[in-house]
Structure 1
Amino acid sequence: MLDGFNALAAPADSPDAYAFGRFLLRVRERVLLEEGVSVELGSRALDVLLELLASGGQLLTKEALLDRVWPGVIVEENNLQVQISALRRALGPFRDWIATVPGRGYRFTAPVTIIAEPTTVTHAAYAAAEAPALSVLVLPFAGRGEGKAHQWFADALTDSITTDLARALPRGGAVAAQVTADTYRLHAADAREIGRSQRVRYVVEGSVLVVSDSVRVNLQLICADTGAHLWADRFDLPCTGDVLALQDVIVGRVVRSIAPRLINADADRAERAERERPGGGTAEDYTLLGWSAFCRGAPLREHLDLARAYFTRALARDAEHADALAGIGMLAVKAVVEGAPFDDAAARDAKLAEADEMFQRALKLAPGHYLALKGGLGLLRARGAFDDAIIAAKAMLARNPAEVFIHRELGLNLLHLGRAEEALDWFRRADAFGASEPMRWIWLQGEGRALLELGRDIEAVEALRLSIAGNPTFAATHALLAAALAMAGQDDAARAAITVFRRAEPDAALEYLAQPTPLLPAQGPLPGGRRVLEGLRRAEALSGA
C-alpha cells in the first residue's frame, strides 16, 4: 500500500505511452501491456521502467535511479536490484533489454517508440515497434494428399515444431503462438506482411505429402524483412505404422535444421553491429555469437576460444545471463571430454568444478534451464557417473524425444559400461533425427566405436570415414579408423590412418583413446573400449612406432 501511495506522478508533458517489442506502457494509467494483456508489476518497478524508457537508451546510474524513484528517501541499493529483477521477470525472454553496466548502473537497449497522442495508443502502436531479433512464426504446414487425415497430420507437425523450436532457441528467442499462426491458414500472406503485423523476423513454411509407404517434407526459412528465402530443404522418409514415431523424426529433423540457422542468422546481425560499433553489443548479442561459434559443425580450438570470449563479454554485461553461464559450463566440459588429456587430476577436477558452478548458477536463475541440464549430462559422464547420466538423459528425453544430443549421451555412457549393442541403437536414433545436422560427425564416431567393439569392423570403417568427412580436424577419429582398418585386416590403410593421427597427436597414449571419454584418474579399467584398444595397438605396430 505504501509503495503505491509513494508512486511518482506522470509529468504533464510526458508521453501517453511507450511501445517496445510486444509491450506497451501506458504512462498515465500506469499499466504495462504485453500484446494487449496486462502484466502484473509493482509500482516501484513501474517507476524504474519509466525512467529507463525515458532515458533514450542512455546509461542511468544507480544513484540517479535511487534519487528519482525514491526521492528524499534513503534506501539500500539492493532495493533497486529487487525492482530490476522484477522487471526482468516481467519481460521474460526479453530480460536482456535491461542491460547492466557493471559498477555503474543500467540502460534500456531495445528500440522504443514514444506515443504522444492518446488515440494512437492501440495494439497497432506496439505492433509497429521493431521485431525481436530472434523471432519466428511457423505457418501451418500444408497437408498434401487425399482426405482430411493428411491435413490433421500436417497440423500435428506444425504444433510440435512450434513447441520444440521454442525450446531449442536461446533465451531471447521468440516463437509466435500457434493460435497466431493459424490466422494465416485460410488466406495467403506475404512473409513481409506477416513480419510487420506479427513483429517477427523469420517465417517458416512447409508441406508434407504422404504417398503410400513414404512421406515427403518440404521446408523453407524466409526472412520477413526482405521476403528472401534463407534456406530450403526437402527430405523423404519411409511411412511406418508408428505415426507418433514418424512425427518425432520429422519434427526433430526440422527443428535441428532451423534452430542453428536462426541462431547463425541473428549472430551475423550481431557480428555486423559489433564491427560497426566494437564493444557496443548487448549481453544477448554476445551470447548468440558465443553459441554460433560453439555449434559449428567442425569446431576448431579458435572457434571454442572465441565462444568463451563472447560468453565472457555477455556475463560482463549481465552476470545473471543463464544462457551465457551454461555456455561457459559446456565449454569447460568439452575441454575435458573432447580435449587433450589432463596431466594433473586436480586441473581436470577444477575444470569440471567450474562447469558445475556455471550450471548451478544458471539453474538457480532459471529453474529447468534446458542448456544447463544438457550440459549436466556431459558433466556426469566426465565424472564417471555413467548410470546416473543414463537416468538423467532418459528423463530429459521424455521432454524432447527428438533431441540428438541426449541420444548421443546415452550412447556414449552405454559404451563406457560395455553395452555396445544398446549404444549403437541410440547413435542410430540420433542419426535418424539429425541426418543433416552439422554436428553429425560426433555420433557417427560413436557409432564407429560401437561397431568396432561388436566386431563389425567393415561397418565401423564406413561410419568412421563419414565422421572424418564431417570433421577431418578431430584427430582421434583418424586413430579409431586406423583401429577398425587394422582389425579388418586392411594393413596399408590402417598404417596411413594412424600416421595421420600421429602427425597431429604424437604423444597421445592409446589407453586414453580407447575410451569415449578420456580415462578418469583412479577410475580403473572400464568395460568398454577393450577391442578398440586392441585395434589401436595393432595399427601402431603396423606403423613401426
Structure 2
Amino acid sequence: MLLNSAGSVVSKDYLLDHAWPRMDAAEESLTRCIYALRKLLMNNKDYIATVYGQGYRFTWPVVVLDASEPVKTVAPSLAVLPFRNLDETTALDLQDRVIRQLSIAFGEALHVMPSGVIAACSTSQTVHSLVRKLSADYCLSGRFIGSGGQRHWSVEFIRGSDQALLHGQTLDARDAGEALGALTCLVAQRVPGLRPVGDRCGAYPVAVAYLNGLCQVQRHTVQSLRDAAVLFRQCVNLDAGYAPPWCGMADVWLGQAMIGVVDQERAIEEAHVAVSKALALDPGSLPALTRLALLTSLRGCEQAAEVLFRRCLLSADQADVLYFHAWHHWFWRRNELAASVIDQCLAHDPDCVRARLLKGRIDEQLTWAGERRLA
C-alpha cells in the first residue's frame, strides 16, 4: 500500500482497515509493522517517513513492473549445424556451446534452434539439403582446422531461403571464449536489425564491447573480471541508455567478491547501484531482477529474495538464475539444497566457470560439516 501510494501520505486508518480487514486491530500493530519494515530495509530507514498526526509516506521513486506482454514481432531463426572435422561428441558439445552463447547474447530477439531439433533433421548428408530441410532464416556452418597450437574455426553464415553464402570467416580457436565472442559479433553484424539482449543498444561498437565483456565474465578470473569491467564501462560511456552492461557490472562486482579480491560489503553496494540503474532503464529485465534477488538475499531479506527468485525461475535462461539461486541458499547455509541447485545449473551449462567455483565452495562447506559431525 505504501508503494502504490509512493509520494503520498497513507493514513493510519486506511492502513489499519486494509491491512487487517474485518478485524479490530490496535494502532500498536501498525506501529510494530512499520518498525519491522524499516528494520527489513536495514540502513535505508528514510524510505518510510512518519507524517505525524496523519500516517506514513514512502519517500523514494517507485518503478512499476509492467506484467503485460508487449506485441512481439517474429524473431529471425538460426540453426547452428554441428562443426565438421571433429569427432561426434566434440562436435555436438561445441554446437551446444555456440547455441547457448547465442541464446544468452540475443534472448528472444533471435530464435536459435535447439540442437535436438537439428539432430532430428540430420539424416540429410549435405549441408545444402540440411539447411533446406530446417527452414531456418539463417544457418551457421563450420569446420575445425589445424592441430596442436594452430587451431581455427572456418565458419560460413548462410541465408536459409536460397542457401546463399552471406559471410565466411576463419576464427582463432585457441581461446574458445574469444572465438565465441567473435562468432556472436559476426551474427549480430549479419542479421538485419539484430541487437544483443535489450533494445536500446544503438551502436555496433557498444554491442561488440558488451559481448566481449560477457566472454570475459564467463572466464571468471581476476584479470578477466577486470577486463570485463573496462568493457562494460566503455558500453556505458558510449550508450548510457543500454541496460545490459549495468547487469554486467553487477556480475563483475559479485564475481570479485566470490573470488575474494574485493570486500563483500563494498561489492554488494556497488552491484546494487548497477542493478538499480539497469532496472531504471528496463524495469522488466529478468537478468536485473535475478541479480536483485541475490542482492536482496545478501542484505538479509531472505523471504523477499525468495519471492523474486520464484518469478525469475520462470525465465528461459535457467543456468543464470540457478547459479544465483544456489548462491542464495549457500549464503543462508542451506548447503545441501545449494548443492542440488548448483548441480542443476551445471547440467544446463557444464562449462560455467563461476558455477564450478561456487560448487567447490559449497562442497567444502558440506565436507567440513560432515567432519564436524563425525568429531
What is the TM-score when the length of structure 2 is the normalising length?
A: 0.50
Matches within 5 A, 1:53-452: 136-138=78-80, 167-170=103-106, 174-175=110-111, 190=127, 200=138, 202-203=140-141, 223-224=156-157, 225-226=167-168, 262-263=180-181, 265-266=183-184, 282-296=205-219, 298-300=220-222, 302-340=223-261, 342=263, 348=266, 351-400=267-316, 403-452=318-367
* CA positional deviation for 1:169: 2.0
Write the letter of the residue equivalent to 2:127: D
Q: Following the alignment from structure 1 to structure 2, what is the Cα–Cα distance between the partners of residues 394 and 221?
A: 42
- Does structure 1 conserve the Cα–Cα contact (< 8 Å) formed by 2:319 and 2:349? yes
What residue is the counterpart of 2:51 in the other structure?
none
**Which digits, 9 at most, give the CA deviation of each residue in 1:204-238, with x for residues without a partner?**
9xxxxxxxxxxxxxxx996434498999xxxxxxx
Counterpart-to-counterpart distance in 2, 1:92 and 1:357: 32
Contact 1:291 1:327 in 2 (8 A): yes
8 Å contact from structure 1 (residues 410, 426) kept in 2: yes
Whether the 8 Å CA contact 1:293–1:303 is kept in 2: the answer is: yes
Question: Structure 1: which amino acid aligns with 2:346?
Answer: D
* 8 Å CA contact 2:131, 2:139 repeated in 1: no
Structure 1: runs of 5 or more not aligned: 1-88, 95-131, 141-160, 205-219, 232-257, 271-279, 458-486, 488-530, 536-545
Q: Aligned residue for 2:35?
A: none
Distance in 2, Cα, partners of 1:191 & 1:201: 10
Say how many residue pairs are matched: 253
Q: Deviations over 1:85-109 (max 9, x none)?
A: xxxx999999xxxxxxxxxxxxxxx
Question: The residue matched to 2:313 in structure 1 has which SS?
Answer: helix
Structure 2 unaligned residues grouped into runs of 5+: 1-69, 83-96, 143-152, 158-166, 189-202
Counterpart residue type for residue 190 of structure 1: V
TM-fit CA distance, 1:396:
1.7
Q: Tell me if structure 2 keeps the 8 A contact 1:221–1:230.
A: no
Other structure's SS at 1:202 match: strand
> Which residue identity lines up with residue 420 of structure 1 in the other structure?
N
Cα distance in 1, alignment partners of residues 154 and 297 from structure 2: 36
Shift of 1:165: 7.1
CA RMSD of aligned residues (A): 5.2
Q: Which has the greater radius of gyration?
A: 1
Q: Is the Cα contact below 8 Å between 1:286 and 1:311 reproduced in 2?
A: yes
Question: How far does residue 268 in structure 1 lie from its aligned partner after superposition?
Answer: 9.0
Where 2:241 maps in the other structure, the secondary structure is: coil
Q: Is the 8 A contact 2:335 2:365 kept in 1?
A: yes
**TM (normalized to structure 1)?**
0.37
Contact 2:246-2:275 at 8 Å conserved across structures: yes
2:366 partner SS: helix
Aligned equivalents of 2:303, 2:296: Cα separation in 1: 9
CA distance in structure 1 between the partners assigned to 2:365 and 2:271 by the alignment: 28
2:178–2:212 CA contact under 8 A, matched in 1: no
Identity value in percent: 16
| Distance apart, 1:308 and its partner CA | 1.2
- 1:137 counterpart letter in structure 2: A
Once residues 313 and 192 of structure 1 are traced to their aligned partners in structure 2, the CA distance between those partners, rounded to angstroms, is: 43
Deviations 1:98-139 (A, max 9, x none): xxxxxxxxxxxxxxxxxxxxxxxxxxxxxxxxxx9xx84257
Determine helix, strand or coil for the equivalent of 1:282: helix
Asked if the contact 1:415/1:450 (under 8 Å) is kept, the reply is no
Report the residue type matching 1:175 in the other structure: H
SS at match of 1:418: coil
SS at match of 1:137: strand
CA distance in 2, matches of 1:189, 1:313: 43
